[in-house]
């Protein structure tokens, strides 16, 4: 499929009945986990939203809560059922959807097997990973065998936030994960990846970081400074944080204007930014209003086609041919 002239959404969540049922079967309390319920969703509502918003194609990834809550066997079974359900949605709408498969991390061996099944048998264009899997963060050395497989496959890896296992409950930031915990945990996970040189050790993986990089535009320079001090004290290995960072891609789901996108562009190349809607977790009317405002902002005139189409086509090159 030629995506060169299509607007592609890299942050879209299929909240179908299979996902809902598997979350329930795993005994996961969505309200306790995320602070708000799963939104209503259907294939029709997704397609209607895309039509009104001017989005031609979406890479579907299931949302939080993550499917692993301590039960390895059932998490692996849930991943298979969810991936098969999402693959069926895509097969029925091949001109509109592709998907990145959910993995049962932190079960690494099983995640490698699910990666192979999802990509080779179900046609997944990549995988979705959460910032922490039952407390094990991206960048953890235990994940290296999976990263080796994803690197071998030159895989697309879409990162999605998850709340930290421990967080303060008596402040507003601890109540609704989307307010603070999601961007905080995204930042925490990617900094861990940088510290462990994941992007340079596995250079063929195409990581997409959500929400205009979360707090990373602020934290990058601070990490460079503090990590330099720590390495001199022998408290961590020397790492070229900017070299690691420049290999990442970023979606612009959330609130890119008036501050977040400009902050991201101060530290990331325009060739590494793609569009993300966060539908249905963000209401269609809100997303559409933000998208139209962005398109009407003259300072982004030369950026729109790059973000909506050109970067997306390069990021998915080969997966959809």
**Quick one: pLDDT at residue 320?**
67
- Choose among 60, 181, 69, 177: nearest CA to 128: 60
Q: What is the pLDDT along the chain (321 residues), one digit of tens a residue?
A: 677 679 999 999 999 999 999 999 999 999 888 888 999 999 999 999 999 999 999 999 999 999 998 899 999 999 999 999 999 999 999 999 999 999 999 999 999 999 999 999 999 999 999 999 999 999 999 999 999 999 999 999 999 999 898 888 788 888 888 889 999 999 999 999 999 999 999 999 999 999 999 999 999 999 999 999 999 999 989 999 999 999 999 999 999 999 999 999 999 999 999 999 999 999 999 999 999 999 999 999 999 999 999 999 999 986 765
- Total domains, the chain: 1
* In a domain? residue 321: no
Q: Which of the 8 DSSP states describes residue 302?
A: T
* In a domain? residue 90: yes
Q: What are phi and psi of 162, to 5 degrees?
A: -145, 155
Q: Is 5 exposed, middle or buried (0-12, 13-18, 19+ CB in 10 A)?
A: exposed
Residue 189's domain comprises 8-315
Query: Please, where are the H alpha helices in the chain?
Result: 17-25, 30-34, 43-53, 72-92, 108-120, 144-152, 181-195, 198-201, 216-232, 241-245, 261-267, 284-296, 304-305, 311-315
* In a domain? residue 102: yes
Q: What are phi and psi of 57, to 5 degrees?
A: -150, 145
Strands 156-160 and 136-137: unpaired
Q: What are phi and psi of 228, to 5 degrees?
A: -65, -40
* In a domain? residue 320: no
* In a domain? residue 2: no
Alpha-carbon distance 299 to 289, whole Å?
Answer: 18
Strands 156-160 and 273-274: unpaired
Beta pairing partners, 60:
12, 99
Alpha-carbon distance 227 to 185, whole Å?
Answer: 19
Q: What are phi and psi of 156, to 5 degrees?
A: -80, 130
Query: What global pTM score does this model have?
Result: 0.95
**Quick one: pLDDT at residue 89?**
98
> Which residue in the block uniquely carries the two structure tokens 């996902």?
19
**Quick one: pLDDT at residue 32?**
84
**Quick one: pLDDT at residue 1?**
67
240 CB-side CA count, 13 A: 7
**Quick one: pLDDT at residue 264?**
98
254: left (phi over 0), alpha (psi -120 to 50) or beta: left
- Choose among 96, 86, 93, 161: nearest CA to 126: 86
Sequence-ordered list of residues with C-beta below 8 angstroms from that of 235, at least 6 positions apart, any chain:
none
- Which helix (H) or strand (E) segment holds residue 60: the answer is strand 57-60
* In a domain? residue 1: no
CA separation (Å) from 89 to 32, 78, 81, 115, 304? 29, 17, 13, 18, 28
Sequence-ordered list of residues with C-beta below 8 angstroms from that of 110, at least 6 positions apart, any chain:
72, 76, 79, 104
- Choose among 64, 39, 231: nearest CA to 134: 64
Which CATH number is 222's domain given?
3.20.20.140
Q: Is 183 exposed, middle or buried (0-12, 13-18, 19+ CB in 10 A)?
A: buried
């Amino acid at each position: 499929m030629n995506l060169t002239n299509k607007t592609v959404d890299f942050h879209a969540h299929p909240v179908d009945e299979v996902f809902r049922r598997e979350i329930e079967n795993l005994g996961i309390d969505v309200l306790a986990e995320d602070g708000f319920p799963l939104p209503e969703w259907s294939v029709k509502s997704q397609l209607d939203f895309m039509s009104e918003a001017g989005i031609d194609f979406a890479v579907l990834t299931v949302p939080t809560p993550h499917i692993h809550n301590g039960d390895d066997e059932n998490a692996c079974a849930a991943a298979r059922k969810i991936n098969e359900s999402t693959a069926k949605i895509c097969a029925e709408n091949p001109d509109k959807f592709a998907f990145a498969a959910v993995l049962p991390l932190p079960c690494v061996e099983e995640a490698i097997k699910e990666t192979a099944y999802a990509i080779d048998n179900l046609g997944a264009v990549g995988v979705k990973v959460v910032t922490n899997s039952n407390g094990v963060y991206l960048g953890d050395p235990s994940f290296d065998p999976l990263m080796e497989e994803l690197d071998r496959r030159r895989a697309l890896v879409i990162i999605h936030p998850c709340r930290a296992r421990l967080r303060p409950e008596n402040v507003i930031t601890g109540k609704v994960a989307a307010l603070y915990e999601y961007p905080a945990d995204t930042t925490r996970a990617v900094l861990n990846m940088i510290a462990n040189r994941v992007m340079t050790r596995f250079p063929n993986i195409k990581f997409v970081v959500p929400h205009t990089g979360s707090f990373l535009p602020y934290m990058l320079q601070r990490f460079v400074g503090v990590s330099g001090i720590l390495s001199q004290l022998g408290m961590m290995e020397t790492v070229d944080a900017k070299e690691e960072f420049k290999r990442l891609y970023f979606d612009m789901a959330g609130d890119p204007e008036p501050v977040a996108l400009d902050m991201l562009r101060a530290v990331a190349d325009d060739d590494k930014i793609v569009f993300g809607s966060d539908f249905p977790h963000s209401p269609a009317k809100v997303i559409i209003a933000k998208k139209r405002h962005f398109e009407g902002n003259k300072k982004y005139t030369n950026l729109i086609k790059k973000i909506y189409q050109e970067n997306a086509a390069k990021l998915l090159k080969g997966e959809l041919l």
